[in-house]
Chain A
Amino acid sequence: MSRTDWEVVIGLEVHSQLNTASKIFSGASTAFGAEPNVQASAVDIALPGVLPVLNRGAVERAIRFGLAIGATVAPKSVFARKNYFYPDLPKGYQISQFELPVVQGGAITIRVGEGDKAYEKTVQLTRAHLEEDAGKSLHEDFHGMSGIDLNRAGTPLLEIVSEPDMRSSAEAVAYARALHALVRWIDICDGNMQEGSFRCDANVSVRPRGQEKFGTRREIKNLNSFRFLQQAIDYEVQWQIERLEDGGTIQQATVLFDPDSGETRMMRSKEDAHDYRYFPDPDLLPLVISEEWIARVRGGMPELPEAMKARFVADFGLSAYDATTLTASKEVAAYFQATVDAAGKANAKLCANWVMGELAARLNKAELDIAASPVAPAQLAGMVARIADNTISNAIAKKVFEALWNGEGGDGADAADQVIDCQGLKQVTDSGAIEGLIDEVLAANPKSVEEFRAGKEKAFNALVGQVMKASKGKANPGQVNELLRRKLQA
């Protein structure tokens, strides 16, 4: 019997912390890193008699998200109580949304893979709903007891639930990355994964390819990096396949990923699952969102990645690939746009090459975000303009870029010009000067000349190289080519 061809099915639930200044149902600050329990108000610690009041800023962020993914923003949604006991859940219930979430449907287009194997895919979203975060239980440093920090209790979250549309860990990671970029793009979440602002739960199952019915899923909880997301899914998929191929079955369960061992382990089975006893929260009225409110939010939305991508293709003549790369994050797009704004639309393609090429490589090597780039967009644009007007060649431009990276040429937009001047990098375009160099090189390399005349094109390239070398790289390569060929064929 041939081995079964397994298909992987993945759906993601992402908890995205909304970047409001205060909590979703109280006025306490949401700033990260404060001393334990100093940012917990009477409402957050659930004193007797306190009541929640909805933060409209959190709702506005949910609307932004709904608009960004082409979802339905529900005209009426309902907050419900999810009841369970835990020491870091002060009320004994979490206020969430259950039957009627604020954002319904929508989709995100992702690009999976690199180079020729890259493909695009659209992931459908089920819903996104508003809820409050719980506090934190601290199990160390308390000598057999647990500490409770309620600073995080009541922090607004948007839980974003996808359909089970992903078919590999690569697709899951691509989706998570696209979502991460989007929530930062529309400025509803800082995306800080270390601080827990963006956490993923992955529902993973496998089924024989061709089978319509989904396999039994296990949910991997609380993955706070893309690498862990990938590792956890890969491990889980392998575990499930091996189990099934050994004749076993999968039981629905919630599992945790241990980054140290790289394994998933069971947290609770379906039998142990809580009955959360959801019911509409009588302390909060249904959330009503008017058309006017939605229109107002729409008016304040930034240009979205898809629209920007299309514009880059249409206006700047970029390839779809380049446009996708340049809109992969808000910061890259902003950098590129600023560079083009300074260098001019005609130089957009050149700007794109430099942003995606040399700059990206240097940033990557230095582990810097583009926002922290030592070369400012205006400086890069200044350099690109000199390439475009033939003041420097691409080869020399690399030298100039290196100088800019190191802060040479000053802070101004004219940094590239300063570098070119100071280091005498201006391209030689004077035909007479270039012809002089060619004559010297031809005289010194009679062998190469002979070979060329015998039909060896390679010899020509060698001669070009010699002329460039003699000019210290400054001769215009196009001119060198043209003049050399004319001389040799004369």
Chain B
Amino acid sequence: MINASLKTLRAALDARQISSVELATLFLDRIQAANPALNAFITVDGDGALAAARAADERIAAGQAGPLTGIPLAHKDVFCTEGVLTTCGSRMLANFVSPYDAHVVTQLKAAGAVTLGKTNMDEFAMGSSNENSWFGPARNPWNTAKVPGGSSGGSAAAVAARLAPVATGTDTGGSVRQPAALTGITGIKPTYGVVSRYGMIAYASSLDQAGAFAASAEDCAPLLSAMAGFDPRDSTSLERPTEDYGRLLAAPAGNKPLQGLRIGLPREFFGPGMADDVRATVEAALAQYRALGAITVDVDLPNARLAIPAYYVIAPAEASSNLSRFDGVRYGHRAAEYGDLNDMYCRSRAEGFGDEVKRRILVGTYVLSHGYYDAYYLQAQKLRRLIAEDFRAAFTQCDVIAGPTSPTTAWGIGEKTDDPVQMYLSDIYTIAVNLAGLPGLSQPCGFGADGLPVGLQLIGDYFSEAGLLNAAHRYQQATDWHLRRPEGTA
């Protein structure tokens, strides 16, 4: 059951081969056993999980089960959960209990999913390795000396190690896709505005988007379907009819299920900077796609190289403002001792925030300051439009864009922590997607020289999530990379 797909779990629950309570217990036991080594969870909510599982069992018994009723899941600790700690990986919120549920949490509760707990993350979702967590780094189940990626490292590690069948994450510059790649699972970030940000603690509001983690594209689909949908409480939420993102997956596979699919390969994603083993693995995956009937075409994203500088202006600018509310006045960390008001602010924030968060607040404050705003912030917004325009042009020549998710496989814990810029460069293939607001997905496509997973990124046009999941699913029907598990997950 630990390794079962959602389809199998659904069937087992509906056939009463297993109860939701039993299933939750199974995963809670696994968490208890494996989490000390992985640090994937910040909070495990056993009582809440069992209560939700009992309710799910009643629903199943009443014949009112939906696709996720009784399915255990984990939430990234960026989502507010009523009555359960929501830390955002920060000392600032180490004791914060939200009085309300995030929209995503509400949706999944309503679907009958069973929340096992809250997963580790880079503090305020700022990071690419999960090392910037007040609660210590989460570890990669394939090799616990390696990072699981970030910022949603805990969710990725939890799914990869089968501590939860599925998990939520958020992706501001690659924080779902990159950890999915580094831990050998599937992760999708939908079009900006598809999932409400209400109750999702903001890092960079114009880029933040919730996403889904699972072993396979097929398992991501029902999770994303339940998370998505218009929410009037988020003004950037898009008013669109609800979708079944898995609607294309049931069609018969056939010999060439992706016949005619045009896959664009951006020259800029295949240049220097990509590790040789990653390149070879990605090339092999593309060959597989051609075998499935797809054709590959070269496309250009001439401004993609400017994505990282643009991102590291826009995201910190928004973050510097978004994080101002953490001032020690109403909730969160307040210094034990302080002089005047200003001293209280300084000490509380100095103590409450970690280095990377401080770094981004400082950068963001700087680029918004009088005299620098035009040169940095406005300039970055122009680049953002150019990057979106590049994608628009590319999608006139192709249906899907493919390339590596990360230039390397997972690196060692501590390896890049002294060099923030090197760390920033690890998101070079994912960031442009957020700047353009497009949907993107990462799926496992093999292993590097070190035996660590390699991810293939697929980028679609706006609202093409169902198509992206289908493109991944057809590949997964023909390959078994998504079925590979790290040791200890039998």
Contact = CB atoms under 8 A, between A and B. Distances in A.
Nearest to A277: B368
B330 A46 contact: yes
A451 interface: no
B205 A48 contact: no
Given A48-B98, A283-B205, A283-B235, A93 B329 contact: no
B99 interface: yes
Interface residues of B, number: 44
Contact of A50 (B198, B368, B369): B198
A214 to B, nearest CB: 22
Interface stretch (B13-21, B111-119, B318-326, B420-428): B318-326
Contacts of A49: 79-80, 98, 102, 197-202
Contacts of B9: none
B321 A275 contact: no
A81 B341 CA distance: 22
A47 B81 CA distance: 12
B337 to A, nearest CB: 15
Given A45-B330, A47-B100, A279-B373, A52 B199 contact: no
Nearest to A40: B330
A302 interface: no
Contact of A81 (B201, B206, B321, B326): B321
Contact of A87 (B79, B323, B341): B341
A279 B329 contact: no
B297 to A, nearest CB: 34
A371 interface: no
A148 B373 CA distance: 32
A90 B332 CA distance: 13
Contacts of A87: 327, 329, 341
Interface core residue of B80, B206, B329 (most chain A CB under 10 Å): B329
Interface residues of A, number: 28
Interface in A37-70: 42, 45-54
Contacts of A92: 321, 323-325, 327
A47 B235 contact: no
A15 interface: no
B330 A90 contact: yes
A285 interface: yes
Nearest to A45: B330
B127 to A, nearest CB: 18
A93 B98 contact: no
B230 interface: no
B324 A148 contact: no
B463 interface: no
A54 B235 contact: yes
A83 B99 contact: no
A486 to B, nearest CB: 84
A46 B233 contact: no
A54 B341 CA distance: 31
B317 interface: yes
B345 interface: yes
Nearest to B371: A275
B369 A275 contact: yes
A282 B206 contact: yes
Contact of B99 (A42, A91, A93): A42
Nearest to A37: B330
A282 B205 contact: yes
B88 interface: yes
A283 B80 CA distance: 18
Contact of A51 (B88, B233, B320): B233
A85 interface: yes
Given A42-B99, A48-B201, A49-B98, A283 B321 contact: no
A47 B205 contact: no
A79 to B, nearest CB: 10
Contact of A83 (B93, B96, B321): B321
Contacts of B235: 51-54, 283-285
Interface string A275-291: 10111001111000000
Interface in B469-485: none
Contact of A93 (B198, B200, B324, B331): B324
A279 B93 contact: no
Contact of A85 (B200, B201, B324, B368): B324
Contacts of A85: 324, 327, 345
Interface in A261-298: 275, 277-279, 282-285
B406 interface: no
The 3 A-B residue pairs whose C-beta atoms are closest, nearest first, are A92-B324, A277-B368, A282-B206
21 contacts: A47-B100, A48-B88, A48-B326, A49-B102, A49-B197, A49-B202, A51-B233, A52-B235, A53-B234, A54-B235, A81-B321, A87-B329, A92-B323, A92-B324, A93-B321, A93-B324, A275-B369, A277-B373, A283-B235, A284-B235, A285-B235
Given A277-B365, A285-B236, 15 more contacts: A42-B100, A46-B325, A47-B331, A49-B98, A49-B102, A51-B198, A51-B235, A53-B233, A53-B234, A53-B235, A83-B320, A278-B373, A282-B236, A283-B205, A285-B235
Interface of B: 79-80, 86, 88, 93, 96, 98-100, 102, 197-202, 204-206, 232-236, 317-318, 320-321, 323-327, 329-331, 341, 345, 365, 368-370, 373, 377
Interface of A: 42, 45-54, 81, 83, 85, 87, 90-93, 148, 275, 277-279, 282-285
